[in-house]
Chains A and B, each alone.
Chain A
Amino acid sequence: MTDRRQFMQQAGALASAAAIGGLSPSIARAQTAKLRVGMMLPYTGTYAALGTAITQGFKLAVEETGGNLGGRALEYFTVDDESEPSKATDNANKLVQRDKVDLLLGTVHSGVVMAMVKVARDNGTLLIIPNAGANAATGGQCAPNIFRTSFSNWQPAHPMGKVMYDRGHRKVVTLTWKYGAGEESIESFKEAFTKLGGSIAKEMYLPFPNVEFQPFITEIASLKPDAVFVFFAGGGAVKLTRDYAAAGLKDKIPLYGTGFLTDGTLEAQGASAQGLLTTLHYGDGIENAKNKQFRYNYGKKYGVQADVYAVQGYDAALLLHGGLNAVKGSFGDKKALYGALEKVKIDSPRGPWTMSKAHNPIQDIYLRKVDGNANQVIGVAWKALEDPARGCKMTAA
């Protein structure tokens, strides 16, 4: 029987051995242990399809690298965040504290992601954001341990200001839901469009997720602007393009938007979306070998067409793989890991991109035109666009 004194001595010896040994034992352990990945994504609710695509993209990349990332096998801890901001902090804390995950991967909804950002900042856990565009995540709330592989809301909307001005539109009406992503997109569009000399005839907002557009369509018809710029996604996007076309406005006052207006919804939109121009960091018909291979593999594995969300999930895994490879799979030296993640050049299906100082992709934004059931890329609207990362003061890890 060991008495208390003996136990204390042994414990002390163990502790000092660990201290003297420095980081090497923990590194040795870390490399053999599985990487604990906390997936916090929506698997039910409005954004369920997006959560699924991101997960599938991520797992496809893992499979392509031989079932591991940076030499480490993975163990997944999955939470359905339901796109519900009120449950977000609890969900993220559960993954960090109960499941002791090495990193958080998530999510789609901007309100939920801001709660995850807070948890990541408080606990120092690595967070990789594979969709939500809230500017603040790589702006005012940026941090060494927070990375994004998708876009900031500022990014896809900004080039549209230039595109529409170049197409001769001077007086434009904007319409969106009154919530984060909508307001940030309109703000960014307006910034580019008015800087060139265009003017905004009226900014229209409706409460999220209300889809009764008729009053606005009536007002647009009487204001007769040169064009309309909108931010909508999912069911709202489908209803808007259909209502807009049914009111006979489609051919009289052209409609533009960020790519979310026509992504994954073209079948439901039918004729109402044909010919619409949108801007996004991905599209159909991007001619590079990586994209072709990615789309082929994704289609073969899951039986559905890859979309922008799948690409963002896929890139999250590529980012981790690249970063972990550079530090031999270790989470021991966080500073080295984050430094490595910053430097990874992602060979993405959307085209190669790099991380900005604020940890948001510096990427090409494509101009796309709806043709049948495809968002055909017809050009690059803005080459290597970097988010201005307003308010980002990166403090050392």
Chain B
Amino acid sequence: MEWLIQILNSVQYGLLLFLVASGLTLIFGIMGVINLAHGSFYMIGAYLAFTLSSLTGSLWLALPLGIALSAALGLVLEWALISRLYRRNHLYQVLLTFGLILIFEELRSIIVGDDVHSVAIPAVLAASLPLTETLSYPVYRLFISAVCLALAGLMYVTIQKTRFGMMIRAAASNPEMATSLGLDIRWIHALVFAAGVALAAFAGMIAAPVSSVFPGMGNQVLIVCFVIVVIGGIGSLKGALIAALLIGFADTFGKVLLPEVASIAVYLLMAVVLLFRPLGLFGRA
């Protein structure tokens, strides 16, 4: 029974990681922008959930508001800063987005302060399911998993089956050709970046009730997100999903079975994958 629950833990953690990393793989894979501030967007989402749900009194109201705000933030950032870097070296992107991390952390400190906060789990989902005589599983965690799966499906359909998705793919694989065929690349880039920011913020918002809200929380997820993107293959959503699940398993079972190497289990996994598939599981040259 314990092992079944650990598998559940792994899947649940992996799906949440996928939700955070999917925005990064969109921005990195389609636009070629290395966005170190991705973790900050996750943090902003969590703080939005905290602030908006204390203002409105409900996480359900906070979610759509927060998504709208973070997408707007993404559009503004893309227009003001990121759009100037598409043709530049990756180093400029790293410098700019690292600077953004510092700015967002400082703003967070000034506006909300440095205390730890928590967000209440909505009453409908506050129950726990008894699994064994001692252990129960919070319904909200299962809800998060369901939302992550639904979003993964939605993203897959959007990118693979819709006209807009086709435009995104065209812009990713050959921007010049796409432009000469009449696509407005700049508009597509702006939308994709905003979607990436909104995804990260949404992950932060929906995870806030279980993760709690604290300074520096974004930096913790940033590295594991990059690991997922690299293992999955840059720009591949399917790869990101599988990689996130693999990491969920490596992390959970690493902690239980091999606590001595738990801190590097995730990186070992990355090293092994890259050894056999240098471009990641679903990467294309």
Contacts and interface: CB of A to CB of B under 8 A. Distances in A.
Contact of A48 (B109, B118, B135): B109
B210 A49 contact: no
Interface string B117-159: 1101000000010101011111010000000000000000000
Contacts of B128: 246-248
Interface string B77-111: 00000000000000000000000000001100100
Interface stretch (B160-168, B174-182, B235-243, B254-262): B254-262
A204 B259 contact: yes
A238 B135 contact: no
Interface string A209-224: 1111011111101101
Contacts, number: 122
Contact of A239 (B2, B6, B211, B251): B211
A217 B9 CA distance: 10
A354 interface: no
A265 B118 CA distance: 10
A45 B132 CA distance: 40
A216 B2 CA distance: 11
A243 interface: yes
Nearest to B135: A221
B12 A214 contact: yes
Contacts of A16: none
A333 B243 CA distance: 64
B217 A218 contact: no
A197 interface: no
Interface in A220-255: 221-222, 224, 234-235, 237-239, 242-243, 246-249, 252-253
A249 B130 CA distance: 11
A239 B113 CA distance: 18
B118 A242 contact: yes
A265 B116 contact: yes
**Among A44, A207, A211, A214, residue most surrounded by chain B Cβ atoms (within 10 Å):** A214
A10 interface: no
A48 B136 contact: no
B118 A268 contact: yes
Interface residues of A, number: 43
A188 to B, nearest CB: 20
B263 interface: yes
Contacts of B211: 211, 239
A343 interface: no
A269 interface: yes
Given A218-B5, A268-B212, A49 B114 contact: yes
B134 A253 contact: yes
Contacts of B13: 212, 214
B220 A234 contact: no
A247 B138 contact: yes
Nearest to A219: B256
Given A242-B210, A243-B210, A215 B6 contact: yes
Given A209-B220, A253-B134, A268-B115, A218 B210 contact: no
Nearest to B252: A215
B32 interface: no
A206 interface: yes
Nearest to B257: A215
Interface string B243-285: 0000000011101100100110000000000000000000000
A284 B115 CA distance: 19
A36 to B, nearest CB: 28
Interface string B35-76: 000000000000000000000000000000000000000000
Given A221-B132, A234-B116, A248-B128, A44 B106 contact: yes
A249 B212 contact: no
B118 A247 contact: no
Interface in A185-211: 204-207, 209-211
A178 interface: yes
Given A215-B255, A242-B118, A210 B137 contact: no
B134 A252 contact: yes
A286 B134 CA distance: 37
User: 5 tightest CB-CB pairs across the interface, nearest first?
Assistant: A235-B214, A207-B263, A221-B135, A248-B136, A268-B118
Given A49-B115, A210-B220, A216-B256, 5 more contacts: A44-B105, A48-B215, A215-B252, A252-B134, A268-B118
21 contacts: A45-B215, A46-B214, A204-B255, A204-B259, A207-B263, A212-B252, A217-B135, A219-B2, A222-B135, A224-B134, A234-B214, A235-B213, A235-B214, A238-B116, A238-B214, A242-B210, A246-B140, A247-B135, A248-B135, A264-B115, A265-B115
